[in-house]
Structure 1
């Protein structure tokens, strides 16, 4: 009789052990599939978090210019960068907001006077207040690197409301310290943002008030007469590991140690490290399940072989080849992989989602796990590991069959 057919008859005849093996395989496949799905979900979320959050590196120093900031921003670790060039401008046809608090008698205009503070940037979304969501665009759009060669500005909502300005209108600005005969530059309003912080309780000059903060492309601010030396430049990189490479490049461009290099990876660590711990747990789970599954199934098959020694002896006496006897046991176990995998496909996704949320809930800075997506590759990997477990669990215990002869099996009373 064909050993595959014998395996099928044996599974039907031994329903209890068949159900036991199916249950064990179901648990193994469910845990394996859940582990793979959890790994995939954490990897996707980690990649998304690296793209969205990244690590901010702030560089300051005498050697920092717009040119060196551009050169450093073009280095491979840098995803985005933002030089910050600040100055106080005098507007024409536009009235800055003033403090509601009476001005003290001994107070001076300071460096700002009745002007506006303008900050030259490349990307407003990289500014901490905008990136954190505290400041938001209420009209128009954000300022991006595509505006680098344009004369455009972002105004705060209170300043725009006071002067009845909207997106598309223009304002005229020039350096407050410039000569009287210098012409005003015309800037188009591309966006209006809102800063929720209230005015300070003490008197401040107009240029120091939150509502009088204006953002424009760094080249346009430089052209107003504020030079080419930004106060700082912020570079966004993918991970903390890339900071050393960027530091080396900064030292080459800025010269020795004549600069300050600050790495702010708190947001990155708060989001990424919990995901990495969950991914590491999933990887350890896969190894544990694979090894323990092979051991458990191997012990069950070993006990089954010992119980069926008489059957094995009769088959060998009838001339059946030993490898076919081992093949029969392998088929009996491996064939159960198909229904176990089908049932695991229904339960694995739910298990992975619950396990991920439970593990992340234990972290200090929790984050929600993305949607668990099951793919054919995941089922294929589980099937491959399951088949490997079936082979190990049957071939290793079956090695003893190769050493025996029909007479020794039939006469052995152990």
Structure 2
């Protein structure tokens, strides 16, 4: 007799058992398919975040790499005292500009640090004088930061500082133009367009006497107020001056050759996976990556996708647990059914039926139940997975935000005022808090393969053990 007919008669003749198998498969397939859908939605969200946020790669001097290279000849350009690093440790702006032109770079910025002594016509903002007898020669300076774009500086991007007059530093800003803080502007009665004179903040050749003239092109307001206590002038945010790379290099006593000397450069990549292409572009531009290594800071990307990645990981674990547990449970159910049908098996074998066909009949019965369950799971799993995914993701997002809030409440050791840590624009990135679950043919194919695999294992493992017996043993022996 045809095994498919026997399977059909068995399924219709025992509707209770058939419904139980369909229901069990429906639960298994629904949970497995929900896991697959959550994984797919998380992967799509992560890819979208990767493309929209990109990653920030940083390039700066590695002193150990320079010393290992043997290029630290100690020679310095004219006007600068020689040291142990030498000119080989200077990261030139012209080099970085060539790297910025690479196709994988969506945007770039760079900084240079420097300092400037006040002059008779340009005073520091120092509302509280230093304690009597304290030597402030090394701290009574303006802190000068050279930038490519002022609006890319963290304090301006997150709103802690903002321009109140004039314009900021840009790629086309002249080397003798600066932006000063509002309190310094008021103390010196400065307005946009005025000239100021500053001295180099470099004591390597003694106290500088040469004055350099700059034009004020902008005035900004810092979000950090005066504390009412003495703060070294160079550490007071009011004495922060922004200049071009060449201007900061000049005031910092470093070479201005090659467009100025940088402290570091950052490159925003269109895709975090483009780091290799960026390094290749840097080497082509002439950079020695042993001395100036490039590393990716994907903090913003990780902040965005952290909760959704953990949700996807949980879904993956769930899929495996459900698959294993489902296989075990179904194998026990099939084994129990085979024991109950020992008589039927023995009679069929006595009549000459082949053992593989008997096992095939049971496999057809289980697969038929699995196919029905997969169809039902496909109809309802999108709603189930959306609800489960949103619930899991909400918990992960709450945890991530709580952790970020705790981090921002910790005192910043670099802040002279002992204030809480000010999160930069990357740390303030809000994590992805929603899943876009959609069911596609690939998801149905995966859950179908999983369901049929479970059905095959659950049938073949116990079935092979029972059918090793001959008809006489099956009919005469007990369990």
Whether TM-score is above 0.5 comes out as yes
Aligned positions of 1:330-341 closer than 5 A: 330-341=367-378
Aligned pairs (5 A) from 1:30-45: 30-40=30-40, 43=43, 44-45=45-46
SS in 1 for 2:391: helix
What do the CA deviations read for 1:230-253 (whole angstroms, capped 9, x no partner)? Answer: 46215468889x79x97xx89x94
Provide closer, same or farther for how the CA distance between residues 17 and 193 of structure 1 changes in structure 2, counting only shifts above 3 A.
farther
Indicate which of 376, 379, 401 corresponds to 1:342.
379
Cα displacement (A) at 1:344: 3.1
In the alignment, the residues of structure 1 paired with residue 326 and residue 117 of structure 2 have an alpha-carbon distance, to the nearest angstrom, of 72
- Contact kept in structure 1, 2:90 and 2:262, CA below 8 Å: no
For 1:266 and 1:185, locate their aligned partners in 2 and report how far apart those are by CA, in whole Å.
37
Mapped contact 2:58–2:266 kept (Cα < 8 A): yes
Whether the 8 Å contact between 1:309 and 1:409 is mirrored in structure 2 is: no
- How far apart are the structure 1 equivalents of 2:20 and 2:10? 14
| Matching of residues 2-401 of structure 1 within 5 Å | 10-11=10-11, 13-40=13-40, 43=43, 44-45=45-46, 48=49, 51=53, 58-59=60-61, 62-70=89-97, 80-88=108-116, 98-102=125-129, 117-124=143-150, 127-129=153-155, 133=158, 135-137=160-162, 147-151=170-174, 156=181, 170-172=192-194, 176-177=198-199, 185=215, 187=217, 189=218, 192=220, 194-199=222-227, 201-202=229-230, 209-218=236-245, 227=256, 228-230=259-261, 232-235=263-266, 253=287, 271=303, 279-310=312-343, 322=358, 323=360, 326-358=363-395, 365=403, 370-377=433-440, 379-380=443-444, 381-399=446-464
Counterpart CA distance in 2 for 1:56 and 1:273 is: 22
Q: Give the Cα–Cα distance (whole angstroms) in 1 for the partners of residues 154 and 298 of structure 2.
A: 13
Deviation at 1:202, TM superposition (A): 1.6
- Is the Cα–Cα contact under 8 Å of residues 41 and 437 in structure 2 kept in the other structure? no
Provide, for residues 354-385 of structure 1, a one-character-per-residue CA deviation record: whole Å limited to 9, x for no partner: 34455677789378563122122473233332
- Structure 2 distance, partners of 1:308, 1:297, is 16
Aligned equivalents of 2:186, 2:7: Cα separation in 1: 83
| Residues matched between the structures, number | 396
What SS does the aligned partner of 1:171 have? coil
Distance 1:141 1:302 in 2: 83
Tell me, which stretches of 5 or more residues in structure 2 are unaligned? Answer: 64-88, 201-208, 405-429
Name the CA shift for 1:87/1:41 in 2 (closer, same or farther; >3 Å): farther
1:109 Cα deviation after fit: 9.1
What is the distance in 2 between the residues matched to 1:181 and 1:123? Answer: 26
User: Given that residues 60 and 265 in structure 2 are in contact (C-alpha distance below 8 angstroms), is that contact kept between their aligned partners in structure 1?
Assistant: yes
CA distance 1:88–1:183, change in 2 (3 Å): closer
Of stretches 191-200 and 217-226 in structure 1, the one that deviates more from structure 2 is 217-226
8 Å contact kept, 1:143–1:216:
no
1:104 Cα offset (Å): 6.9
Q: Is the 8 A contact 1:122 1:148 kept in 2?
A: yes
Distance change >3 Å, CA 164–CA 408, structure 1 → 2: farther
* Alpha-carbon distance between aligned partners in 2 of 1:308 and 1:142, rounded to the nearest angstrom: 88
CA 1:384 to 1:124, structure 2 compared with 1: closer, same or farther past 3 Å?
farther
**CA 1:267/1:368 → structure 2, altered by over 3 Å: closer, same or farther?**
closer
The Cα of 1:297 is off from its aligned counterpart by 1.7
Q: Deviations over 1:64-100 (max 9, x none)?
A: 2323444676789987452324354999xx9877332
RMSD (Å), alpha carbons: 5.7
Query: How far does the alpha carbon of each residue in 1:112-169 deviate from its partner, in whole angstroms, 9 at most, with x for none?
Result: 98x96542213456645456x472547799979xx3124586664656789999xxx9
- Structure 1 length normalisation: TM-score? 0.66
- For structure 1, which runs of at least 5 residues remain unmatched after alignment? none
Partners of 2:403 and 2:447 in 1: how far apart?
32
> Contact between 1:55 and 1:263, CA under 8 Å: does it hold in 2?
yes
